[in-house]
Amino acid sequence: MRNLLTLALALIGSSTLVASAQISNYAPVTDARLLNPEPGNWLSYRGNYSNWGYSPLTQITSANVSRLRPVWAFSTGETAGHEAPAIVNNGVMFITAPNNGLYALNAKTGQQLWQYKREIPEDLVTCCDIVNRGVALYGDMVLMGTLDAHVLAFNAKTGKIIWDRTIEDYKKRYTITSAPLVADGKIITGIHGGEYGVRGFLEALDPKTGKTIWKTYTTVNGSYPAGGAETGGASTWVTGSYDPGTKTVYWGTSNPSPWIDPRAKESDDRKWSSSVLAFDVKTGKIKTGFQYSPNDVWDFDGVNEQILIDTVVNGKTMKSIVSAHRNGYLYLLDRANGGLKYVDAHKFIRSTVYQSIDKNGRPVWNPQARPAVGKQASACPSLLGGKNWNPAAYSPLTKLVYIPSNESCMTIKGSQVKYAAGEAYIGAESDITTAPGLNHIGKLQAVDPVTGKQVWAQTFNSLLWGGVLTTGGNLVFTGSSDDRNFNAFDAKTGKKLWSFKTNSGVIGVPVSFQVEGKQYVGVYSGFGGVAGFFNSGVGAKTKDIPTGGVFWVFALD
C-alpha cells in the first residue's frame, strides 16, 4: 500500500494560455440542452444526467465497425494517467490532461484552438497520480477542477479565465480530480483526499461568480468515534448524477479516514463514508443516504457512478439506481421521490468480505476477512475493487449494464495511526495479489441490472481500467491495458468485432459525437493512475506498458 501513497509531486512552469485559432459560432450550453442533449454532442461527463455513457448515434454499427479507422490523434506530452472523456459541443472538443492541462480542439480535424496549463505548487501532494477526469460546460464557459483544489471558469471561445475560485487548502491535501456537474443552474464539485484525513463535502457554486451557494459535509458526528468526523474522509471524488424530476443530485463518497480506526466501535458506521447520498439540488441538504459498506476497513469507496434507469421489478416499473461497487456487488436501489431504498444486490466478481447482505442492504461481515490493528486478514476483492472509478455504461436498447470489472485479492492488516494535517491517515498495510485459480484479471461483463444475471463476458489478462461506451449501433467500446487495444464488442452477444492498437494502455473514457453529419468515436490512451502503481501481483503484466497520453479519434473509412 505504501506505493499507493507515493507522493505525486507535480511541478511545471507558470500557468499559461496559448490561443492558436478563433472559435466562431460557439453554441452556449443551456439548462435545456443539458436536460436533453443532442445525439451528436457529448455535453457532460457521461453524456447525460443519468450517467448512462450511451450515444444514440447509429452510423457506426456492429455490421460496419470493422471499417473503423483513426482519423486524427493528439498528444499531450504528459506521461501520467489519462482518464478524462472528451466533451464535445458543436464541433469543439475540450479535453483535460494530467498536470492541470486543458485543450480546446477542432473535433473534426484535431487542430488545437487553445490550451491552458496551470502552475502546480511544488509542495502539492496527492493520492493517487496527478490525473484529471474532465470538464463541464455551461453557457459560454468551460469549468475545470484542479489538483490544487480550485475550480476555474474559462471562456470557451478564447480560453481566458473568467473566475478562479479556491475551494479548499491543498496543503491539507484537498485536491480536485473529477469533472464538475452542472445542475439546476449550479456548478457542483466534489473533492478528493480521503487518504489524508480530509472531511468530505459537496459544494455548489454560482456560475456567474464562483461564489458558494451551498456546501454540505458528508461525515456525521455521532457516527464516528469522538472527534473523528472532522477528519473522517468520505470525499466525493467521482462526478455524480442528477434526477431533474425530483431535483436530486446523487453522489458517492469515499472510504472513511482512517481505513481502520481502533477507536471505532462495531456500531460506529462512520456515516456517510462508502455511501451514496441524495442531495437537494437547491439547498444542498442531504435528503437520505445508503451506505454500501458501513464502517469500511477495506478501502471500498462508494464513489462509483450511480446509473439512473427505470427497471421492472415484480411487474412494476421502478425509478432505480444501479451501481457496481468495489466490494464486488451490483446494487439496485429504489430512488422514487428522490429517495434511496435498498432493493437487491448481486455479486459480479469474487467477493469474500461479506457473509450475506440483509433485507435492508446492510452487509454481514465475514470475520475471517475483516482486518484490525495487529490482525492480518485475506480478502477478495482487493482495495482496487471489483470495479473502481472507471465508469460502467447502460444501453436502453439491450437494457443491460456493461461493467469493467477486475478480479484481485489482498492481505490487509491494521496499524496504529495518529492524525496529522497533511500526512497520510490510513491505518492499514496491504499487499494486492491476483485471484487464485483464475487466468485473467479484467472482465467486461454485460449484466441484467435487476436479476444480476451475466449475459456475456470478455476477459483480459491484466487490469481493465478504462471506461465503457455504449451506442445506438449495438456496440460497446472499451480499452485494455497490457495489449494497448481499444476494442468494440457486439452489445447483445459480446463478440469482439474490432480493435486498434494504441500507443499505451487505454484507461480513458470513450465518447461518441458527430460533426457535419459524420460519427466519430474518441478515447484517451495513456496508462497510469493508481493502476500504474504496481510492479508485481496484479501489476506484473502492466509494469512495462509504455506511457504517454494520446487522444485518438476514429471514423468509418
- Widest pairwise Cα distance in the chain: 63
Write down the residue that cell numbers 459498506 correspond to: 293
DSSP per residue, 76-111: ----S---PPPEEETTEEEEEETTTEEEEEETTT--
> Which of these is catalytic: 129, 148, 269, 299?
299
What is residue 42's DSSP assignment? B
d(CA 101, CA 98): 6
Residue 131 in contact with residue 80, Cβ under 8 Å?
Answer: yes
The answer, yes or no, to whether the previous bond of 380 is cis (omega within 30 of 0) is no
- For the record, the C-alpha cell of 222 comes out as 455521532
Determine whether 299 is an active site residue: yes
Query: For strand 354-357 and strand 341-347, is the pairing parallel, antiparallel, or unpaired?
Result: unpaired
| Distances from the Cα of 533 to the Cα of 146, 150, 276, 437, 540, angstroms | 22, 26, 27, 24, 11
The sign of the dihedral angle between the CA atoms of 263, 265, 271, 274 is: positive
Question: What b-and-e string marks burial along 105-136, b requiring 16 or more CB atoms within 10 Å of the CB?
Answer: bbbbebeebbbbbbebeeebbbbbbbbbbbbb
Question: What b-and-e string marks burial along 151-164, b requiring 16 or more CB atoms within 10 Å of the CB?
Answer: bbbbbbbbbeebbe
- The residue among 52, 137, 54, 133 whose CA lies nearest residue 93 is 137
3-state secondary structure of 342: strand
- For the record, the C-alpha cell of 396 comes out as 436502453
Residue 403 in contact with residue 324, Cβ under 8 Å?
Answer: yes
DSSP per residue, 390-422: SPPEEETTTTEEEEEEE-EEEEEEE------TT
Catalytic residue IDs: 299
